[in-house]
Amino acid sequence: MPTPENPPNHQFSEEWTEASFHKMPEDELETSSFSQLPIPASISPQILTKVTRLFNGGLEDIVNELFQNARRAGATQVEVILTQLGTLLIEDDGCGIENPKTLLSLGQSEWDAKVVESEDPAGMGIFSLANRGATIASHNWHVHLDPEHFSGQAIAIVQSTEARVGTRIEFPLTAAELRSFEVWRSQSLHPQIASAARYYPLPVTFNRAALLRQDFLEDAVWVKLWRGLRLGVSAHYRWANQSVEGLLNFYGLTVPLQLPALACNDTTLHVRVDVDAAPDLKLVLPARKEIVRNEFFDELKVELRRTLYEAVATLEHHDLPYVRWLEAHSFGIELPPARSQLRPFTPRTADHLANQSWESLQPIDPTTMLIEVGDLQAPEQQLLKRALNHSELPYTFLAAESKYQGYSWYSPTNPG
């Protein structure tokens, strides 16, 4: 706000003062003061003082970010070493960092056009170290960075060194992290390092021992490619929505998501997404722990539902409700009708915890009759069961399930 000590901006009227601001009519204020005033986007230098909060500063975030940078740099392997000094060293054999100035240029990266197009790198990954500091070496230079360097409160000085291949980053561990590493030292692994390496596309060693790598879609019964993503379907328990591993794999970084699932054949089919090269997929920056809910994500969820039905089409039989069968048909997937099998009619009891029937499914044929109990309560169902047992009807009585209403084989009888 202009004051006598702070003259008014030349873009504004000479009468612009705090007093005249309050007296000026609102419609006149709009037209005479702000009309066509350009307001370009900008970044305040004050953001540097907050860089220690871009990432949570935890070991998992740091390792994931450094692993991603190594992969983008074209590395063929990554080595992780717990040093005698209580620091963690991460080294790769990629193209390295040619210009050390980019380290502290928030939002700037020098990845090639292919990486920029396919992954949209944020240029912030190295700032995951802002809480701790690090010593970084690449090409023919090395530099030590303290938290004050990341926040712009001090100037880092780069030193010349012998030429090297790739990038070497060493950073301190907290006391709690060191204790954790000591616990796992005898097994040549650490849970957070092993987790970062499990679905990572490059080989990783920890203290010279190779870490286990797995296909993110391992145990899938159906896999397909769609717009740069691998979509898989499985009934394995690890694929459930509540899985701690996440349901989307971004080159080793797993992201938790709520994705479609489908109950089928007394189990639940779940989906997972493995990123191959999908520029339309956007993750929330900088930590990439959440997917951006854009149009592509909406299309992905629809395609995952289609994928679930494609997986069902490969099964020998299914027990989908009729409405799910119709949904599959809407996707152009022609499924056979659900298997015509139901469980024997078992009346409810007063103990609602004991009302689940464990009897085997029986096929529907001319010797069976479907019993629809509707709103009958437990005592009435018990009476109905006695009546059916003492009747001379030549049928095996099966319990109707309304979810099958619409299939040609489903025709229940309502005793009411």
**Which pLDDT score is estimated for 356?**
57
What are 52-58's contacts with CB under 8 Å, separation 24+? 52/130, 52/131, 52/147, 52/150, 52/151, 54/124, 54/127, 54/128, 54/130, 54/286, 54/287, 55/127, 55/128, 55/130, 55/131, 55/286, 55/287, 56/287, 57/128, 57/130, 57/131, 57/132
Q: In this predicted structure, what is the pLDDT of residue 187?
A: 65
Do 192 and 54 share a structural domain?
Answer: yes
- Do 325 and 349 lie in one domain? The reply is no
What DSSP element (H or E) covers 318? Answer: none
pLDDT of residue 165: 95
- Residues 287 and 374 placed together within one structural domain of the fold: no
| The domain boundary residue, chosen from 184, 210, 236 | 210
Rounded to whole angstroms, the maximal C-alpha distance in the chain is 105
Residues of the chain with pLDDT under 70: 1-33, 116-118, 120, 122-123, 186-189, 242-243, 350-358, 413-416
- How much is the pLDDT for 9? 42
Select from 350, 285, 231, 232 the least CA-distant residue to 120. Answer: 285
pLDDT digits (tens, 9 = 90+) for 96-139: 999 999 898 887 777 777 776 667 676 678 889 999 999 999 99
Whole-number pLDDT of residue 132: 94
> pLDDT at position 20, please?
39
Q: Do 202 and 58 share a structural domain?
A: yes
What per-residue confidence (pLDDT) applies to 112? 73
Residues 6+ away with beta carbon under 8 Å from 372: 400, 402, 412, 413, 414, 415
pLDDT at position 310, please? 98
In a domain, 414, yes or no: no
Look at residues 210, 245, 264 and tell me which one is the last residue of a structural domain. 210
Q: What pLDDT sits at residue 1?
A: 46
Domain annotation covers residue 350 = yes
**Domain range holding 30?**
1-34
pTM as predicted: 0.80
> Domains in the chain: how many in total?
4
